Amino acid sequence: MFAGQGAQVVGMGKDLADAHPSAWQWFERANTALGYDLATVCFQGPESELTRTENAQPGIFLVSWVAFELLKERLPAFEFQATAGLSLGEFTALTAAGALSFEDGLRLVRQRGRFMQEACDVTGGAMAAIIGLDEAPTREVCAQAGVVLANLNCPGQLVISGGAEQIARACELAKARGARRALPLPVAGAYHSPLMASAQAKLAAELGGIPIQAPAVPVISNVTAQPHQAPDSIRARLVEQVTSSVRWEESVRYLLRQGFSRFIELGPGTALSGFLKRIDKNAQVLNVADVPSLEATVRALA
């Protein structure tokens, strides 16, 4: 499982690069591919620079990829049977499954971040987390306030997206309906809502120039909560994903129904591990975000 935007933190990946020369090589490859020093932005910030969408997205992709590569390096017999990622993490998941090259995946999320930032700049949207309210009443709140359900993360944690004034109204309505909390999120705009539509044509053009292979293992789509299909379908779903809801809980439940019982979160933060524990407390959850978590996961898998 690969982290999504919001997981970024200044210093991410630095201890991995300091401890493992092979990790540092990936940071250098990324700097070369992008033509600027993304490694220093990840390691030193400042936070205002790292949280810019066009830096946060490739930064999280890169640190997640380094975590994935180091896990494979430390455990030569390591095998995985499926991948999934939250929003931008879906691009990392496709890259891990061989559908995209590392450089193409990295450049793609950098451009995706730029296109989404441009959409944010002209629409002035917002997002909020709705805690402790079920999906059906949250959908009713969304319809009443004129916003949309952006992320269905796990039981009791949903994210809504739309115009800033409408989101403020939706938060009040959600609390009146019994939500424990309705928290505005510190994001640049209304991701996974119709306000991102202007980014779709630009992303489609970018995807059209990039070779995509059939994934070597199933990669779960945020849009359908089912495995991706042929390369042209992958392109279409990735464009659709910009304005569609992220069906994360359904994606995990699909994998659980297929018999998966061990999940490894790769990249900064442990948000996906937290969601998984809320979805199925019996699933084994490991993560690789830094040197201590890498060592703990290696021990658990060895």
Catalytic residue numbers?
Answer: 87, 192
Q: Which pLDDT does position 188 carry in this prediction?
A: 86
Instruction: Render pLDDT for 157-201 as a digit per residue (tens, 0 to 9).
Output: 999 999 999 999 999 999 999 999 999 998 889 999 999 999 999
Q: What is the pLDDT of residue 45?
A: 96
**What kind and span of H or E run contains 263?**
strand 262-266
Percent of the chain residues past pLDDT 90, beyond the cut: 98
Of 72, 116, 77, the C-alpha closest to 98 is 72
Instruction: Give the pLDDT confidence score for residue 186 in this predicted structure.
Output: 83
**pTM score, two decimals?**
0.97
Domain spans in the chain, listed from the N-terminal domain onward: 14-121+194-301, 125-184
Tell the CATH topology of 14-121+194-301: Malonyl-Coenzyme A Acyl Carrier Protein; domain 2 (3.40.366)
Mean per-residue pLDDT, 293-302: 97
Please answer whether residues 147 and 166 qualify as being in contact, where contact means their C-beta atoms are separated by less than 8 angstroms: yes
pLDDT at 80: 98
Q: Report the chain's mean pLDDT, rounded to a whole number.
A: 97
**Pair of tokens at residue 240:** 């659709």
What's the whole-number mean pLDDT along residues 255-271? 97
- Predicted local distance difference test score (pLDDT) of residue 206: 97
User: Quick one: pLDDT at residue 95?
Assistant: 98
Looking only at Cα atoms, what is the longest distance across the chain?
54
For 268-282, what is each residue's pLDDT tens digit?
999 999 999 999 999
Which tokens belong to 152? 């269905």
Q: What pLDDT shows up at residue 124?
A: 87
Cis peptide bond prior to 218, omega within 30° of 0: no
Q: What is the pLDDT of residue 256?
A: 98
CATH superfamily of 125-184: Malonyl-CoA ACP transacylase, ACP-binding (3.30.70.250)
Give the model confidence (pLDDT) of 75-93 as tens digits. 999 999 999 999 999 999 9
pLDDT digits over 104-137, tens only? 999 999 999 999 999 999 998 999 999 999 999 9
**Cβ-contact 70, 20 below 8 angstroms:** yes
